[in-house]
Amino acid sequence: EADIYQTPRYLVIGTGKKITLECSQTMGHDKMYWYQQDPGMELHLIHYSYGVNSTEKGDLSSESTVSRIRTEHFPLTLESARPSHTSQYLCASRRGQGYSGYTFGSGTRLTVV
Amino acid sequence: SQKIEQNSEALNIQEGKTATLTCNYTNYSPAYLQWYRQDPGRGPVFLLLIRENEKEKRKERLKVTFDTTLKQSLFHITASQPADSATYLCAPPDGQNFVFGPGTRLSVLP
């Protein structure tokens, strides 16, 4: 059973609003990630963190920002939502060492109208 | 640049048959590779990892091979069932992270 939680599961919001997508994990994993995925399309890495106070941008340019103040918490924020931000956002984590795989959350389906 | 290719976007097979999915990579040599399953609207689920010194890895009805000469990994599901219908992703490492392939959507027909 995955121990990584994303809220909300679904979100419909108006253009220009500020939103924060929550991601928490209870496994003590050092590494956490945010991916963006459109229906039927590939996963794109937008942000990652290797530990507290460490954040990096991923391969896909994104207008979102992230923070990592606590090991278990990795929220993603959009200061001003636009229709182009409509997508599914997936959070993942993994152990810092070794060949461990990712554990993914169930995702947040964001629709900006 | 590094590239990952997975065979045809969709693969349809009859229940009970063996499904074979391919993952080809170019311009780098990963020391290991992971496979994931993703159901519609959900996050991927880790299935198997295979290292370069392991030619084959098995887990129940799943079998993965890794040919570093051909730069290819094969993912087999034997005695396939409709519940195996999903998208399967290969993911070689890229530094400390992983890069996900485009996936192959498998449909097992009853």
Write out pLDDT tens, residues A94-106: 987 777 899 999 9
Q: How many whole angstroms separate alpha carbon B4 and alpha carbon A77? A: 30
Count of A-B CB contacts under 8 Å: 41
Q: What percent of chain B has pLDDT over 70?
A: 97
Report the pLDDT value the prediction gives residue A2, as an integer from 0 to 100: 55
Nearest-angstrom CA–CA distance, A49 and A104: 15
Distances (CA, A) of B21 to A40, A99, B36: 17, 22, 12
Tell me, what's the pLDDT at B6? Answer: 87
Question: How does pLDDT run across B68-78, given as a tens digit for each residue?
Answer: 889 999 999 99
Please classify residue B58 by burial: count the beta carbons closer than 10 Å to its beta carbon, then call 0-12 exposed, 13-18 middle and 19+ buried: exposed
Q: What is the pLDDT of residues B90-109, one digit of tens each?
A: 999 888 888 898 999 999 99
Mean pLDDT of chain A: 93
Using the predicted structure, report yes or no on whether residue A1 has a pLDDT greater than 90.
no
pLDDT at position B95: 83
pLDDT at B9 over 80: no
> Does the beta carbon of A52 lie under 8 angstroms from any beta carbon of chain B?
no
Q: What is the DSSP letter of B84?
A: G
- Given this model, what pLDDT does residue B5 score? 85
Substitution target in B98, B99, B105, B107 with the highest count of A β-carbons within 10 Å is B98
8 Å CB contact between B22 and B73: yes
Per-residue confidence band for B81, with pLDDT thresholds at 50, 70 and 90: very high
Are A107 and B43 an interchain contact pair (Cβ–Cβ within 8 Å)?
yes
- Residue B44: closest C-alpha in chain A: A104
pLDDT at A60: 82
Is residue A70 over pLDDT 60? yes
